[in-house]
Each structure stands twice: as C-alpha cells, then as structure tokens.
Structure 1
C-alpha cells in the first residue's frame, strides 16, 4: 500500500505517524542503521509492525524521515538560539551561543538530532545524498559564525577556517558518544566546550 502524504493537522493519524518517527529515532540512536528493525520501532510506537507500511512504504523511507527530522531540528534550534541572542553580542559570544544550543539539542532535546548525526555516515550512498543539502545548510550557519569571528580579529589568521569548522563540529558531535548525565552536568560540558572552541580559535589578541 502506498503511504499517505504526511498529515498537516493534529489528527490521530498525524499523531501516530509522529510516534512512529520518534520511535525510529530512538532505535536508530541505540542500534544504528543496520540494527534498526521495524518490529522494534513498532513496539516502542505501540503499533502493529504491518501498520507502519500505511505511513511509510519501506524501512528506509521511515529512516529517511527520522534523519531528516533530526537534521532540521538541529539547524532550527541553533538558528533560534542565535536569533534570541542580544543584538550587540560579539562574534565570539555568538559562537558560544551556538555551541550551547548544539549540545543542548544533541544531548537533551530528543533522540532525533543525535540519531541523525550518528546515522548519516552509516547510510547507503543514495540515502546519504538525500541529506547532504540539509547538512550543508547547517554547516553554513557555523561557517558564518567562524567567518564573523575571524573578521573580528578573534581567530588566529593561521588557522584555516574550513578545517577549524570541521574540527569543531566533529568534537561537539562526539559528545553524544560519551556523555553520561550521571557523571556530570551538561552545563559543565557546555562550559568546557565553549572554552576549548574559543581558546582553540583564538588569535591571542584582546
């Protein structure tokens, strides 16, 4: 059966679909692309496994939507945090805001962002290609922040901005692999990440 278009109103069908996508993100985060089974998704979503095919034509289509949701969530929440920052905040301050927003999204907001970040490298090439534009859009947000900090004189001119950007994102994303809330507060992780990012980029100027 072909799956219906995603419901645009909060109907029972829309809620069920969201529940299935949320469950898929939960399973993806813990078991990865290869280990994600529709039976596990169905159990968490509290639906019968065949019912998933009413909403999605295949396992990969469901995974696609879960990953797309996570990537969009990460970009949106970081953009919102930046939009809410004081207009006179320095370029370095805005970079610190983005670090905090990224880590909050990745580690506490929901499974979606962490699942997307972990899963994209595991996807088959055709699926990865479908998500590359969303990844580029998110990296563009960060590229702008690093460029602004560089133009303000806060970044060591000897550091290649593109390389710095990938090191920053890679380090922030890796926190999803090791952070354990029982072993320390997220505030401490954010403060350490902000300090390392700012000092790592620093030109040594005032």
Structure 2
C-alpha cells in the first residue's frame, strides 16, 4: 500500500503561516520603500513575496491593513535597535558618546539593516491617520529617546548656548533621515557616511 502523507500538525501550520506573514511584511516594506504608499499595489507585494495576490487576503483584510502592520513593526524595530545600542554602553558613558552611538544606530538601521526604516521615513507623512496611528506612536517614542540624549548633553554643559534643543533634535533627525534619499553604496562606504555624520552632528551641537 502507498504510504499516506502525514497531515501537518497545528504547530507546523502555525509556523508556516508565521513565515508567510513575515515574508509578506518584508516584501511590503521593500515595495513601500521604493514606490511609496500611493504607488504600492498588492500585486507588487505578491510578486516580491512569491505568492499569489489573492492569498494576501488570507493574512490581511486589505492593502491598508498590511501597510499599517509594516509601518508599526518597522517603527518598533527602529526604536528597539536604538535602545539596545544605548543600553549596551557602560554606565556613565558621556552624553556626546551616546549621541555618536545613536547616530550610527540610526544610519545603520536605515541604510543597511532594514527596508522598514526607509519605508517609514518615506511614507509616514503620506498615510491616512488610521494607517499611521500605531507607527507614529512608536516614532514619538523614538523621538523621546533623542530628546533625552540632547537634554543630557545640555545638562552636562556641552550644548551650545545658541542652540535650541528641540530644533537641534529635529534638524539632526531630518538630516539623518534624508540619507535614505541620496546614499548609494556604490559611491562610498557606509562607515564613511557614519563617521562624517557623527563629526558634523557633534560639532553642530557642542560649543
């Protein structure tokens, strides 16, 4: 008698489902980072994930639900990456060094580690409020980490007297985010970009 193929267990089915969801999120992040919210179609995401477009509806009720999840997951990952980089520093690390580490963490996550970061940077202001709500809460928490970094620099007497802390923070983040629009790995190393950014940020903030 021919052998019967064993039925997949619940755990195997759940694992396969989780992998497919993850693949869809990764694909959506990549498409969003290239085409933006308005230009992203489910067929593009399906092609990138190597699934049939109708299969996406098994995991996400709509295009907006999938994009909302991408934005939230990406924003949370970016905040976690920054927090872990800072938490790894020894106690008593000077504020300027912590800012330097934060600059590197931001640029590496944005340009090397994750399409999600680029998707967030390029699309956060294009999304309907229901789609961006959870992601923007994570972005706000990320900004709070930077607010504390600049405040610590000021408390240590290392922030220029003519620099407004809030404006400085937004200018720094704006410059770091813009790197996603112009950096090309074929035109220079990421390490050079990070080193230049660290130098410029610290020289602009400190007396």
TM-score, structure 2 normalization: 0.91
- Matched-pair contact (CA < 8 Å) for 1:70–1:114: no
Using the TM superposition, name which of 81-90 and 145-154 deviates more: 81-90
- Matched-pair contact (CA < 8 Å) for 1:99–1:193: yes
- Matched-pair contact (CA < 8 Å) for 1:92–1:198: yes
Give the equivalent residue in structure 1 for 2:87: 83
Give the equivalent residue in structure 2 for 1:104: 108
Residue 176 of structure 2 is aligned with which of 172, 179, 182?
A: 172
Return the alpha-carbon distance in structure 2 between the equivalents of residues 16 and 33 of structure 1: 22
How much does 1:89 deviate? 1.6
How much does 1:10 deviate? 6.5
Residue 148 of structure 1 is aligned with which of 147, 152, 155?
A: 152
SS at the partner of 1:122? coil
Using the TM superposition, name which of 26-35 and 149-158 deviates more: 149-158
CA-atom RMSD in angstroms: 1.5
Q: CA deviation digits over 1:62-86, x for unaligned, max 9? A: 0001111111111000110001112
SS at the partner of 1:121? coil
SS at the partner of 2:160? coil
Residue 71 of structure 2 is aligned with which of 35, 51, 67?
A: 67
Using the TM superposition, name which of 46-55 and 81-90 deviates more: 81-90
TM-score, structure 1 normalization: 0.91
How much does 1:130 deviate? 3.6
Structure 2 residue runs without a partner (length 5+): 1-10
SS at the partner of 1:148? helix
Return the alpha-carbon distance in structure 1 between the equivalents of residues 145 and 98 of structure 2: 11
The reply to whether residue 182 of structure 1 matches residue 186 of structure 2 is: yes
Return the alpha-carbon distance in structure 2 between the equivalents of residues 33 and 12 of structure 1: 28
